[in-house]
Chains A and B, each alone.
Chain A
Amino acid sequence: MGMQNRILRVDLGKGKATIEPLNKEWAEKYIGSRGLGAKYLSEEVDPKVDPLSPKNKLIFAPGPLTGTMAPTGGRYTVVTKGALTGAITTSNSGGKWGAELKFAGYDLLIIEGKAKNPVYLVINDDDVQILPAKGLWGKTVWQTEPWIHERHGNDQMKVASIGIAGEYGCKFACIVNDLHRAAGRSGVGTVMGSKNLKAVAVYGTRGVPSDNPKKFMAAVAKAKQALAESEDRKGLTSNGTNAMVSVVQSFGSLPTMNNRQVQFDGASKISDEAMMEVLPDGHSNLIKNAACFACTIGCGRIAHVHPEHFSVKDRPEYHIASGGLEYETAYALGAMVGVDDLDAATFAGFMANEHGMDPISLGGSISAAMELFEEGIITTKDTGGIELTFGNAEALCQISEMIGKGEGFGKIIGMGSKLMCAKYKHPEFSMTVKGQEFAGYDGRAQQGMGLCYATSNRGACHLRGDTFGPDFENTGTKGKALAARESQDVITAMDSTGMCLFVGDAGMDIQLMVDMIDADVEGKWDMSRFVESGERTWNLERQFNLAAGFTMADDTLPKRILETPAPSGTAKGLVSGLPKMLPEYYELRGWSKDGKPTNSTLARLNL
């Protein structure tokens, strides 16, 4: 219960869709969403497979709480072997699409094979159609949803699609649902494009059952009350995640100009306050906040670019309200590229949503290209005349659009910074782990976050471990390995429920999430079983990556972070203490000295 106990399997090669029972034994061990998706992937996909091969699978996985009244119960995870990394990736998204898939009666959608020609999928409860994408392939994300609504006469269909970036094979293409929410990282959109799958449109009319509805609703009421009363939640509602810019700027962990710096002079111009500032003509970047399905936090931002700004001045089609800057977008399309132009960063964010690109990897790849340019390794001959220098807002806007459309030098940057920097024989300019670009925290100042980047199963990621508290308390390495390991397990379990990770940041006790799971799904769930499930999934993901060919040598950070001291801020003079933290981390994980789960750890976790 909480589960529909059905999965939908679509073989694009054979043009066949089948409904099968959910493996309940797996659900008992892995909960749902990220955990369950990872289990299905590891059972059904050879870890050595090429991510763009028809043998890779693309799994859309809501959780037991998705589509219920649990606050923030709208998340789903896309699970696949990532095109950007070659590692298992579990890419989480919000919006409304995940809930709709549950309403249609499915716990998982598994996409297999490759269609001969571009197609899109339409799911209306049990009716599943694989339709030719003639007239749809080549459209942007923002054109795709209305096209499908009109074609099928139902504007309540929820649409998840790729943009042109996913079609041409940009390595960090994402899957966008509901116009500006995304399963962003690791090239899940690239995998979708490789299958010739343009979009999945879904509409459902079923309810979502609960094992103990009365107990569930009592737990839901408590959770909603906790969020309503929380000062942390109020802050997220009013200011969004971009309140983080001034925090990391003060601390000195804001990656700036490809991590050359850790503080950005223009930080205040791309902050949450800048978004809310009302200009003399009455315009402000921020229009309002936005919430995903069942979310009572509403951290999303809806923004618009000033109509006189160079990026949109003669382009009325961009005089629109759309997804505004979150913290990661402000970092990646602001500080990381040295741009302090709020509207330019917002426009570049629009390009990421419209064309379906991960804005974090977009910014990290552009910043690497900027460094190549400033070092004279590439010139305007390579870039088609664009002065790709740090801080060039016009260049940022122009190149973001070109990357989205696969035009000119944009296609080269679309390889991702690792392949691009290797192409120009300067791998040291790629700020990545396992091929994935850094998020907005520098590992020299936030030591625990550096360890989290290095050990995340999907490459550099800020959402796989939470060491913020200890990192801000001290810039040393003590206690960070334990904080990383413990938070990774809890987060993995949270990611498997269908609720949003931000409930923790919004001041809700995680015990309330466990209480909702206990009431909603069969069996007895307590914190211990919940966290153990997270640990199990973490180790499962690790096993997949080891079998794919990753080793402890990949649990590392770029040379810049390991060897070049932070130039300013609270961690001035420090490098990452990863060599000290990693052995302790492996030991705490119950892994061997070379980072492999031991037999006793695997046995304890029933792996």
Chain B
Amino acid sequence: MKITVRLLGKLRNNLPAEKTGPTSARMTLDDGATPELLIERLGLKVGASYLVLINDENVPASDYATQAIEDGDAVTICPPIQGG
């Protein structure tokens, strides 16, 4: 299945090759992929604190391993950085 992934803040350095913008890219994932799997696939630190949205809906950390990502979804991942 194909999704759009958006990585914000410093995470944008982990964007996959097929970029559609400075913070977004297209990705192909196996069916049944979850946020946890996606985080691993992107080379991000598993278990770290992130903000994950699927189609602008927040995914609580407790659901990272079980929430299904579906074909055509837009997944946003950002770090909980602090601004000054």
Query: What residues make up the interface of A, taking CB atoms closer than 8 Å to B?
Result: 231-232, 234-236, 239, 241-248, 250-251, 273, 299, 326-328, 331, 440, 462-463, 466, 468-475, 501-502, 505, 569-570
On whether the beta carbons of B8 and A462 are closer than 8 Å, the reply is: no
- Taking A241-B83, A245-B83, A474-B61 as known contacts, 12 extra A-B pairs with beta carbons closer than 8 A to each other, sorted by chain A number, are A235-B9, A241-B82, A243-B8, A244-B82, A246-B9, A247-B79, A247-B80, A466-B82, A468-B81, A472-B50, A502-B82, A502-B84
On whether the beta carbons of A246 and B10 are closer than 8 Å, the reply is: no
On whether the beta carbons of A250 and B56 are closer than 8 Å, the reply is: yes
Residue of chain A at shortest CB distance from B44: A231
> A475 CA to B53 CA in the complex, in Å?
13
B residues 57-78 with Cβ under 8 Å of A?
57-58, 60-62, 76, 78
B23 within 8 A of A: yes
On whether the beta carbons of A331 and B23 are closer than 8 Å, the reply is: no
Residue of chain A at shortest CB distance from B77: A250
> A188 CA to B67 CA in the complex, in Å?
49
A245 cross-chain contacts in B, Cβ below 8 A: 83
B13 within 8 A of A: yes
Residue of chain A at shortest CB distance from B56: A250
On whether the beta carbons of A469 and B49 are closer than 8 Å, the reply is: yes
Among B49, B60, B81, the one with the most A-chain Cβ atoms within 10 Å of its Cβ is B81
On whether the beta carbons of A246 and B78 are closer than 8 Å, the reply is: yes
> A466 CA to B6 CA in the complex, in Å?
25
| CB-defined A-B contacts under 8 Å, sample of 6 | A234-B10, A243-B9, A326-B84, A469-B80, A472-B78, A505-B82
B1 within 8 A of A: no
B80 cross-chain contacts in A, Cβ below 8 A: 247, 468-469, 471-472
B32 within 8 A of A: no
B51 within 8 A of A: yes
B23 cross-chain contacts in A, Cβ below 8 A: 246, 273
> A326 CA to B57 CA in the complex, in Å?
27
On whether the beta carbons of A326 and B10 are closer than 8 Å, the reply is: no
On whether the beta carbons of A472 and B82 are closer than 8 Å, the reply is: no
Residue of chain B at shortest CB distance from A248: B83
- A327 touching B84 in the complex, CB below 8 Å, given contacts A250-B76, A473-B61: yes
> A401 CA to B45 CA in the complex, in Å?
45
On whether the beta carbons of B10 and A250 are closer than 8 Å, the reply is: no
B79 cross-chain contacts in A, Cβ below 8 A: 232, 247
- A243 touching B10 in the complex, CB below 8 Å, given contacts A468-B81, A502-B84: yes
On whether the beta carbons of A326 and B83 are closer than 8 Å, the reply is: yes
> A326 CA to B81 CA in the complex, in Å?
13
A236 cross-chain contacts in B, Cβ below 8 A: 10, 81
Pick the contact of A242 from B13, B62, B83 — CB < 8 Å? Answer: B83
> A273 CA to B79 CA in the complex, in Å?
16
Task: For the complex formed, measure the closest distance between the CB of A251 and the CB atoms of chain B, giving whole angstroms.
Answer: 6
Pick the contact of A235 from B13, B22, B58, B82 — CB < 8 Å? Answer: B13
> A235 CA to B81 CA in the complex, in Å?
10
A505 cross-chain contacts in B, Cβ below 8 A: 81-82
On whether the beta carbons of A247 and B10 are closer than 8 Å, the reply is: no
> A475 CA to B60 CA in the complex, in Å?
8
Task: For the complex formed, measure the closest distance between the CB of B79 and the CB atoms of chain A, giving whole angstroms.
Answer: 7
Among A251, A463, A471, the one with the most B-chain Cβ atoms within 10 Å of its Cβ is A251
- A250 touching B61 in the complex, CB below 8 Å, given contacts A241-B84, A472-B49, A472-B51: no
On whether the beta carbons of B49 and A473 are closer than 8 Å, the reply is: yes
> A248 CA to B61 CA in the complex, in Å?
17
> A551 CA to B56 CA in the complex, in Å?
40
On whether the beta carbons of B51 and A247 are closer than 8 Å, the reply is: yes
A250 cross-chain contacts in B, Cβ below 8 A: 6, 8, 51, 53, 56, 76, 78
On whether the beta carbons of B9 and A244 are closer than 8 Å, the reply is: yes
> A263 CA to B21 CA in the complex, in Å?
21
Q: Which 8 A-B pairs have the closest CB atoms?
A: A235-B10, A327-B83, A570-B58, A244-B83, A469-B49, A468-B80, A472-B51, A473-B61
> A273 CA to B24 CA in the complex, in Å?
13
B50 cross-chain contacts in A, Cβ below 8 A: 472
> A210 CA to B4 CA in the complex, in Å?
53
> A234 CA to B10 CA in the complex, in Å?
8
A466 cross-chain contacts in B, Cβ below 8 A: 82
B residues 9-39 with Cβ under 8 Å of A?
9-10, 13, 22-23
B57 cross-chain contacts in A, Cβ below 8 A: 570
Task: For the complex formed, measure the closest distance between the CB of A360 and the CB atoms of chain B, giving whole angstroms.
Answer: 10
A232 cross-chain contacts in B, Cβ below 8 A: 10, 79, 81
